[in-house]
Amino acid sequence: MQNFPTILFCTFRNFARLVVPVGVLCVFALAPLAKAQISPNFPNPIAAPSPLTATQSIFRRNMQDKIMKAAEAMPESKYSYRPTKDVRSFGEILNHVGDISYILCSNAKGEAPPAMAGAKGSKAQIIAYLKGAFDYCDGVYSGFTDAHLNDPADFFGFKTNKMFILTQVGNHDALHYGNLVTYLRLNGVEPSGGWF
Q: What is the pTM of this model?
A: 0.76
Q: How many CA atoms lie within 13 A of 84 on its CB side?
A: 3
Which ranges of the chain have pLDDT less than 70? 1-42, 117-119, 193-196
Q: In b/e form, how buried is each residue of 21-35, taking b as 16+ CB within 10 angstroms?
A: eeeeeeeeeeeeeee
Q: Where are the domains of the chain?
A: 1-37, 51-186
Closest among 44, 69, 53, 70 to 138, alpha carbons compared? 53
The answer to whether 67 and 103 are in contact (CB under 8 A) is no
Write down the pLDDT at residue 3: 59
Q: What is the pLDDT of residue 89?
A: 97
pLDDT of residue 113: 87
Position 181: which residue type?
V
Which of 193, 196, 145 is closest to 166 using CA atoms?
Answer: 145
Cα-Cα-Cα-Cα dihedral sign, residues 89, 56, 66, 130: positive
Query: Which residues, in sequence order, are CB contacts of 97 under 8 Å at separation 6+?
Result: 67, 130, 133, 172, 173, 176
Burial of 3 (0-12, 13-18, 19+ CB in 10 A): exposed
What's the alpha-carbon Rg for the chain, to the nearest Å? 23
Q: Please give the CATH architecture assigned to the domain spanning 51-186.
A: Up-down Bundle (1.20)
